[in-house]
Each structure stands twice: as structure tokens, then as C-alpha cells.
Amino acid sequence: MSLKRRIFLQPCPAKTVEDNNYTEFEDMSEVKPKKRGPQEDNIKIIDCSPLCKRLGLSSPQTKLWFVKDICGVICAIFTWLLVLYAEFVVVFILLYPSPYVNYAIINGVVFQFFIFLAIASHFKAMFSDPGAITKGNATKENIMKLGLKEGQIIYKCPKCCSIKPERTHHCSVCRRCIKKMDHHCPWVNNCVGEGNQKYFILFTLYICLISIHSVYMSVMHIVTCLKADWKDCTHYNPAAQTVFLIFLMFEGILFGIFTAIMCGSQLYAVCTDETGIESLKNEVPTWEQKTKWRSLQETFGSVFSIHWFNPFINPVIPQVSDIEGILYTV
């Protein structure tokens, strides 16, 4: 009798061998599957197609991905409140009372433009599917379709009961496996992965820009008011103005530095074709690493244009075959 054994993926769940958060299955004939399905995820899919039809809108993204995490929801609401506070101080304290009309109009238009793009990018990063792998697809029928050969194995997530392609990691908050997952960000209440990395980068970029802009306008306002001895600077008294401006400058400096670092780290991850998790785990690349330009094109768009900076233009995710990045040889 031959001592060689073919290695198969057993329908979930089954007797398994754990290895680095992956599960490989052996000897289908010797294991009796248990009646247990995949772990319940933490995702709510919101179907907006009826509303879009009622409003006469045609949108390619009619289903919203929402993570049911109270911590993430609080962080996202806190983000919107910080943006709203900056909007109030800039409009009603810095620009509206300003005696320089042209200065107020130009800075007001620029600030509102970046505010709009930042909120739109945040919304897209928060409610877009980050690249989730189909849950519960590790069935006997799907495995037979792959036509495994001698010495080939397939990795599977024991929590999602899903066939796990390379560069896929399981998120403990979303409770789903995410393709090219970089990290789970509470500020957008979502994972940052293959499907929404563009929106997250744009969000950090635009928040950084409005932070710098608000600090600049605050400094200019203080200098102008000091020269005029705080006369006709605003409807608020000097003490109230000072408090508002101190908090705005603190917010601008803090989040300007934070988002600049985040934006830079994300661009570095894209250019090196290595996610944050892969870098932390010091994983040796088993995939074909792309050039910097090709990685940027796949993240933001095929051809460099203004669309790279538009959060309403969806990136084109490269399509792969059913078995590409799934089969491994031992």
C-alpha cells in the first residue's frame, strides 16, 4: 500500500490541523463532518436599491456594508462632530465676520470643497465592502470543482468556513476574512482592505489638508485681531474667540499630524505592495510583488487622472480565476 496521501480540504467543520491561523484538512474519508456552520459575522448589509429607484438614482453601489461595532460607531460620530466643530469656527468666527470679502470667499470655497471631499471619502471608506471573502464556501462541492492534485492543499478559515486565498486575514471585529487587509480602523468603523483602501487614503489626505488650512486661517485671524486690538473681529468677545481658536488649532495640529502619518504609511504600503499586517508579521512574500506604479494604478485607477482624487470613482479591482492564489503545494 502506498504511503502517499492526497491532502484535501474538508467541508467545514472537521478534524483540522492548525498552523499560523490557517487550517489545512487531511483524509476526508476518515473524518465525519459536524453539523456546525460558520461563525456569525458582525456585518449588516443595507440594501438601498428601493430608495435609489424611488429617487430615480442609478448607482453602482446600492448595498452598504455596515460593521455593527459600537466602539467604531462612536469613533465615526466623533469624527463627524470634530469636522462639524471646525466648520462652525471657520465659517462663523473666522470668515463670516471678516472685513476682507475676497479673502473670506476664496478661503470659504476652498475649505468647503475639501470638507465635502473628506466627508464623502469617509462615507465611502465606512460603508464599502473592504474585500470580504465569501463566507461558508469551503464545501465539498466547491473543493471538488478545484481538481486538487497530489501534494496540493488549500487553506481555510475555521471561523468563516471559507476558502482562504493568499494575502487574506481574518478580522476579529468584522468577523470576516478580508482580502489584502491592512488594519481595522475605528475612525471609519471598517477594515481597510483591497476594496476601500483608496477611500481611506483620500479621507486621511483631505482631513490633513483641512487641518493645515484651518490652522493657517486661525493664525491669520489672531494676527489681524491683535493689530486691530480685537475690534470688529467677530460677534463673540475676545475671550470666547480665544477659546474657540485654541481648540481649533489644537484639533488641526493634532489631526493634521496624525492623518499625514496615516496617509504616508498607506501610500508606502501601496508602493511596496505590502499591507500593514504583512509588515508586522514580517511575512515573506509568496506572491508576485508589483511595481510601485502598478500598485498605485490598481489602488486608485488604471490611468493617472483627476479621478484618482475623486471618492465617487470606484477603483477597478483586478479579477482573478477561481483557483488563483488558493492552491498551495507541499
- Catalytic positions are 185
Q: Are 268 and 210 in contact (CB under 8 A)?
A: no
Q: DSSP assignment of 196-226, as one string?
A: THHHHHHHHHHHHHHHHHHHHHHHHHHHHHH
Closest CA to 114 of 141, 154, 83: 83
CA–CA distance, 83 with 187 (Å, rounded to integer):
13
CA–CA distance, 169 with 163 (Å, rounded to integer):
12
What is the torsion angle, in degrees rounded to the nearest 10, for the CA atoms of residue 66, residue 300, residue 169 and residue 278? -140
CA–CA distance, 182 with 193 (Å, rounded to integer):
6
**Residues whose CB is less than 8 angstroms from the CB of residue 170 and which lie 6 or more positions away in sequence, other chains included:** 21, 157, 159, 160, 176, 177, 178
CA distances from 159 to 13, 138, 243 (A): 9, 11, 50
